[in-house]
Chain A
């Protein structure tokens, strides 16, 4: 199921970027560099940092609502802060950075980097779940929920990264605003699962939160897309053929 999810999602969201960018293939390779960075953050940095801080503060795991508030907030912000920073690391590649010369490119570069990061994250989650005895015995079709949730998450990762990359393309202040915007959006998306994890809302409510977050990111994506088209001077009327026009008296 993980393999099917990764391939189907890469084709879907990569295909969307290809179609909406004007059938440009130059962005498609950006799916790849984000994958290892996702594994570095998820398998290495996040877990190690959470354990280290927990040990220093002498906080026991699995305390639910009894966990100190600051530590909950720290854990909550760990993913947004680290992941949004890591997602744009591939821009250090000259070939990636050169793509940002075009005004409308930041949106598509950001989407592809974010989706690529999501692919790595999905692979890591699939591997982690497969190690658990209670899940490893289940057949592959029992994980359709994973497929649906990941498919949506790839798009949301893409939009968050696009917010940051668009800022990076402009000024330093815009880059900082972009980073905070992406981090804030990421935190909002993660709010539902975190509230369920500490027991404030029931587990089933996280699906409702995810749908709401997806709707919000879709709205943001449409706004960014129209801004990018206007900034690039792309006229939708280009290539229009007028066949008939009634003369008004």
Chain B
């Protein structure tokens, strides 16, 4: 945890999410792009372009997310909690709108968007909890849920007790 004035910065729990993102990116090559190119003469050009384009997009996105993995952090000031992940994710939670904070295990679902072992980002559907806005280094186990008037956020601060204490202190003011 770091502090600058009244701004506290909390790092997420360590995980192997970065490795997972890299692995998925590289697996896209032999599973989609290479077979499509090998069958290029037999499939319509449009389909080839779509498959290769999607594959390239997945590879670039996965590697970019892996590159930004160390930038995940939770910044807490007197009024707001902001979840950051590289330049692509910045969720701002106004502390006064928080209704509930709880820690629980989530159910895994194969429909989840960016939700792999060690990393969960963006909006993720979760049964019995609804849609979660995630910025976490865990897909299911021990996720801290912050429910506000508008949405539910999932995060995984490494110093969870200090994080909760800091939020509670600001909520009491």
Contacts and interface: CB of A to CB of B under 8 A. Distances in A.
Given A151-B31, A246-B99, 13 more contacts: A141-B34, A144-B34, A147-B30, A148-B32, A202-B42, A204-B47, A218-B111, A222-B109, A236-B106, A238-B105, A241-B104, A243-B103, A244-B101
A147 B38 CA distance: 14
Interface string B34-45: 110011001110
Contacts of B168: 243-244
Nearest to B164: A243
B35 A144 contact: yes
Q: How large is the interface on B (under 10, 10 to 19, 20 to 34, 35 or more residues)?
A: 20 to 34
Contacts of A242: 100-102
Nearest to A20: B108
A145 interface: yes
B4 interface: no
A240 B100 contact: no
A176 B107 CA distance: 31
A11 interface: no
B102 A243 contact: yes
Contact of A204 (B30, B44, B99, B105): B44
Interface of B: 30-32, 34-35, 38-39, 42-44, 47, 98-111, 127-129, 164, 167-168, 171
B44 A236 contact: no
Contacts of B101: 242-245
A203 interface: yes
A232 to B, nearest CB: 13
Nearest to B42: A204
Contacts of A240: 102-105
Given A151-B31, A226-B127, A244 B100 contact: yes
Contacts of A229: 107
Contacts of B110: 218, 221-222
Nearest to B108: A20
A240 B102 CA distance: 7
A241 B108 contact: no
Interface in A199-227: 202-204, 207, 218, 221-222, 226
A239 B31 contact: no
Contacts of A239: 104-105
Q: Is the interface of B mostly helix, strand, loop or mixed?
A: mixed
Contacts of B42: 202-204
Given A147-B31, A204-B43, A222-B111, A241 B103 contact: yes
A151 B30 CA distance: 12
A19 B102 contact: no
A207 B50 CA distance: 13
Contact of A246 (B98, B103, B106): B98
Contacts of B171: 244
A142 B100 CA distance: 54
B35 A145 contact: yes
Contacts of A151: 31
A172 B161 CA distance: 53
A141 B29 CA distance: 12
A204 B44 CA distance: 8
Contacts of A202: 42
Contacts of B34: 141, 144-145
Contact of B127 (A20, A207, A236, A245): A236
A204 B46 CA distance: 12
Nearest to A218: B110
A241 B160 CA distance: 12
Nearest to B171: A244
A60 interface: no
A237 interface: yes
Nearest to A1: B30
Nearest to B111: A222
Nearest to A203: B42
